[in-house]
Amino acid sequence: MAETPKQRVVETLQLLASKDEQLEYRRRVPIADVSAELFCFWCDVFWPDDAKLRAEFSESEWTALLRFHSVFERVCALLPHHPLPPIEQFVQSPHWLQLSRAAARALQVFVSAHDDVA
């Protein structure tokens, strides 16, 4: 489990980007409403107005997170809130694809930043 706020954000993006991880989560925790939990996880780790959280990230990382958050909010507005489809169906939807791709794009900034340091 991640220890810092930054690690939690990155791990959540990784989960949001990965159909395999989401389906594996469903297999490990069969009672979980994985579709709904994906949205809850992001809301639990990312607060765009939190200065302390902002300080954890570089300018490019924060910009990528804000871009992702914008897509996240757009997708949220388009989805029925209760109930969301089961994860096995949700991963086949255009909304899931939009969210997953946006998470993957945001993660690229973290990979690039890590490569620059290494």
Q: What is the pTM (predicted TM-score) of this model?
A: 0.90
Q: What is the pLDDT of residues 48-80, one digit of tens each?
A: 999 999 999 999 999 999 999 999 999 999 987
Q: What is the pLDDT of residues 75-98, one digit of tens each?
A: 999 987 678 899 999 999 999 999
Handedness of CA 77, 78, 79, 81 (dihedral sign): positive
Could you tell me if 39 and 85 are in contact, meaning their C-beta atoms sit under 8 angstroms apart? no
Question: If you search the block for the tokens 């757009």, which residue do you land on?
Answer: 74
Of 6, 32, 57, 114, give the one whose Cα is nearest residue 21. Answer: 32
